[in-house]
Amino acid sequence: MPDRVLIPARRAQIAQARPAHHAPHAATAGKPLSRDALAALLSALPRRQPLLLSFSHDDVMQACGGVQNAVREEMAALRKAGWHYLHASPAEPSLAMPPPADAAASLLALRLDGVAIGTAPAACLAAALGALRPARLHAVVHHLIGLQPEAVADVIEAAGLRHPIVWVHDFFSLCPSYRLLRNDAVPCGAPPRGSQACDICVHGEQREAMHGPRIARFFERMRPFVLAPSGSALALWRAGAAGLPRIGEAVQPLMRLGTAPGTLPHGAGGALRIAHPGMRDYGKGWPVFEILAARFAADPRYAFWQIGEDEARPAAHGIRHRPARVGPATPHAMVDAITETGIDVALLWPLWPETFCYVAHEAIAAGAFIVTHQGAGNLPALLRDHPGSGVVLPDTEALLALFDGDGLARALGARRRQFGALLPLGGSAAWLARRGEQDLPARHAMRA
Amino acid sequence: MRCVPDIHCFTSANLAYLDRARVLGESLRRHQPGWRFTLCLTDALPEGFTLDLAAEPFDDVVRLEELDIPEPRRWAFGHDIVELSTAVKGPMLCRLLGTGAKVVYLDPDIALFAPLDDLPGLLDRHDLLVTPHMLAPEDRGPPGPINEFNTLRHGVFNLGFLAVRPSPDGLRFAQWWRDRLLDHCLDDAGNHPFTDQEWVDLAPGFFPGLHILRDPGLNVACWNLSRRPVTIGGDGAIRAGGVPLRFFHFTQIQRAVGEEAIAAFAGDDTAVFELVAWYRRRLAAHAATGLPEGWWAYGCYADGRPIPRAHRRAWRASAELRARFADPFAAGPGSLAEHLLAQSPG
């Protein structure tokens, strides 16, 4: 259904869309590790303790975001269970897949049990793991962006493994446009490669010529087990992944949310506080929030807030800003900020199908009422699982109508803030536990 | 012996439209690789600028001087940049039909999105194929039937597309159209039949073998967008008015007016802006590198002064001027330019 309110924002996004090229945007400081030094570090690990080899797109102890949360929680869960955790990410993170021949792109930043141990080429890591052959080992690929899938497969194979877990935190394994936004603007659902839609998309050429074939070869070599953090993410991924061989797939939520009825009413301080929790980003729905804030800037019923980082992007229309950054030392920063700011309503209007959405869980836990839409990926299911936590609307016309009329006041009038607790499930750790492997998944069991 | 292609396609353009012609050629090679494609060039190459056919998506380039036009340079003087690229379509059509091929003309600012495989078969049954600007009354967009008014002023059919077979009636059409364009191709809608286009309003009466194509996927443009919304499905197919989009006419898309016209009739659709953005990216990829700013070989007098449209009109209108000045592009004493400037008021 056309979404008239969004047309100007969509047009602006379409006009500025560009293909993602491999261009390192940061460098991880770290001492170069020789193969011998790396082998010595790994061989010092007690052999009876299992090791999880994990790949993602950046340094999870430095960067913030959903994938980084998931990896940190996974590491924490496995460490509690007595595992060691070796994390590898590009030493020079990038928003695209580096060419296979780019030697510099194979340099990995390594953390062992959360501690930076240095950088090493993927071939060096492969050789160290190959020589060591830890007794019990498993591999997880959280993200491939910025990594060479060939190099990742080489490392996993050298360690004697196949069938790693591959996560669907987003849709990078289907398209360089990892949110499945055609021309960075319109949800596309991953149509067949070479379709007319791909022909006119800024990402189509890469998807057809490089990305798609390289990802396909990775899946053919690895035949992974695919985990998605929500049913909607798995369904969408599956629809576009017909040609990607895997040994299985399952849903593994990243977090459990427990809520309890509260006693505090909404809007006790006057205007209802409406927040955009998260980045000022098109995909996260910032344009919709700006439209809403502009339209109701002079309406005394509402006050508008953005909770998160400002990313040096301006906010107009009287939108107030409360900084919050969820990181290794501040895992509750978003919950705390929403609570302390007294946010009544979290507008979560992602313009892509969110695969999990940590911030929605955080907003509910902080007592906010969620307003979202049908195309928001995991959000409608989340609200179905937590009745009374929010409302799912068909489109932005309905959103404006909700704010124009007294719909929001009525929805919140009799409601009491319900606060909640968030229980991280540990990512792959939870899946291995479900499989009865949280103890020690034997390497031979995971071999082809 | 040279093989006659099933379809010989051509476009006409000056070098400022080379990027557009290249995008058209690229799309033809993708969707109709068997068609022969010729650029009719209404320009001359500036010094140092080359056209390497091996690197171009054209099979041939035909220059103005190669067409069957008496005194082509003097004839060109009577036309502005749009009129000249339009007026050559008639002589070029005759030239290609003379090879025995079925001929398709496409404007340079068109791009194919799907094959046109049915055209050869349609030309087995009909002498000439045309696409109307509009296939249905206007029902949305700005107040008033603006596109209906414009169509009535500029011609029922959009001559960005034309297909003709070398049948007796096809050849008779081509000869008639050529003759009208040689003498009467003027961009003065409302006062004179509009360029090459409005003449063809007469063709359904003159040529019974004319067939009107009614596929809404053909020749989609701002003037018919209100009834042919562009959508992109989950299957990755681009549709116009619910049927597969086959070619889009990106009229004046490099100027703000082109996108404004699309925006006025696009309604709730943003898919059409994705087409526009894609087209602009292709144009940028095919830019004519090294072409001097504002280049057109027939745009200026020999001393570099731009030729006013009034001078071209005066030249056309006066047999005396045409008899008196052998080279209308000359400058300096005794030239047409000096003569007309002396007569200008003020």
Residue A447 clears pLDDT 80, i.e. is over it: no
Residue type, B341: L
Nearest CA in chain A to B280: A15
Mean pLDDT of B135-139: 85
The pLDDT tens digits of the residues spanning B171-185 come to: 999 999 999 999 998
- Picking from A35-44, B160-169, B277-286, which range would have the lowest pLDDT averaged per residue? A35-44
Whether ipTM tops 0.95, in short, is no
Q: Indicate yes or no: CB of A200 within 8 angstroms of CB of B278.
A: yes
- Picking from A335-344, A356-365, B267-276, which range would have the lowest pLDDT averaged per residue? B267-276
Q: Which chain B residues are Cβ-neighbours of A191 within 8 angstroms?
A: 233-236
pLDDT band, very low/low/confident/very high, at B142 (cuts 50, 70, 90): low
pLDDT band, very low/low/confident/very high, at B2 (cuts 50, 70, 90): low
The pLDDT tens digits of the residues spanning A64-112 come to: 899 999 999 999 999 999 999 999 999 999 999 999 999 889 999 999 9
Quote the Cα angle for A379-A385-A390, to 5°.
55
Q: What secondary structure, in 3-state letters, does B194-258 show? A: ECCCHHHHHHHHHCCCEEECCCCCCCECCCCHHHCCEEECCCCCEEECCEECCEEECCCCCCHHH
Closest-CA distance, A261 to chain B, in angstroms, reads 41
**Exposed/middle/buried for residue A297 (C-beta within 10 Å: 0-12, 13-18, 19+):** middle
Q: Indicate yes or no: CB of B271 within 8 angstroms of CB of A4.
A: no
Q: Indicate yes or no: CB of A199 within 8 angstroms of CB of B232.
A: no
pLDDT of residue A448: 24
Nearest CA in chain B to A7: B270
Tokens encoding B301: 């007098």
Q: Indicate yes or no: CB of A196 within 8 angstroms of CB of B245.
A: yes
Q: Which chain B residues are Cβ-neighbours of A11 within 8 angstroms?
A: 270, 273
Residue A324 and residue B345: Cα distance in Å, rounded? 72
pLDDT band, very low/low/confident/very high, at A23 (cuts 50, 70, 90): confident
| B198 at A interface, C-beta within 8 A | no
| Direct distance between the N- and C-terminal alpha carbons of chain B, in angstroms, rounded to an integer | 62
Q: Which of B234, B267, B269 sits opposite A191 (nearest CB)?
A: B234
The pLDDT tens digits of the residues spanning A260-311 come to: 888 888 877 689 999 999 999 999 999 999 999 999 999 999 999 999 987 7
Mean pLDDT of A371-389: 96
Nearest CA in chain A to B245: A196
Mean pLDDT of B86-93: 97
pLDDT band, very low/low/confident/very high, at B67 (cuts 50, 70, 90): very high
Closest-CA distance, A102 to chain B, in angstroms, reads 25
CA neighbours closer than 13 Å in the CB half-sphere of residue B208: 0
| B281 at A interface, C-beta within 8 A | yes
Q: The pTM is what? A: 0.92
Nearest CA in chain B to A9: B270
> Among all chains, which residue has been given the structure tokens 């190959």?
A130
pLDDT of residue A424: 93
* H or E, element range at B2: none
Q: Which chain A residues are Cβ-neighbours of B23 within 8 angstroms?
A: none
pLDDT band, very low/low/confident/very high, at A445 (cuts 50, 70, 90): very low
Q: Indicate yes or no: CB of A186 within 8 angstroms of CB of B114.
A: no
The pLDDT tens digits of the residues spanning B222-243 come to: 999 989 999 999 999 999 999 9
Residue A224 and residue B48: Cα distance in Å, rounded? 57
Mutate to test the interface with A, among B273, B276, B280, B281 (most CBs of A within 10 A): B273
Mean pLDDT of A30-57: 90
Backbone region of residue A184 per phi and psi (left: phi > 0; alpha: psi in -120 to 50; beta: other values): left
| B268 at A interface, C-beta within 8 A | yes
| B273 at A interface, C-beta within 8 A | yes
Residue A446 clears pLDDT 70, i.e. is over it: no
Show Cβ contacts of residue B111 under 8 Å, excluding neighbours closer than 6 positions.
B23, B24, B27, B247, B248, B250, B279, B282
pLDDT of residue A29: 65
pLDDT of residue A443: 36
pLDDT of residue B4: 65
Closest-CA distance, A57 to chain B, in angstroms, reads 29
Nearest CA in chain B to A8: B270
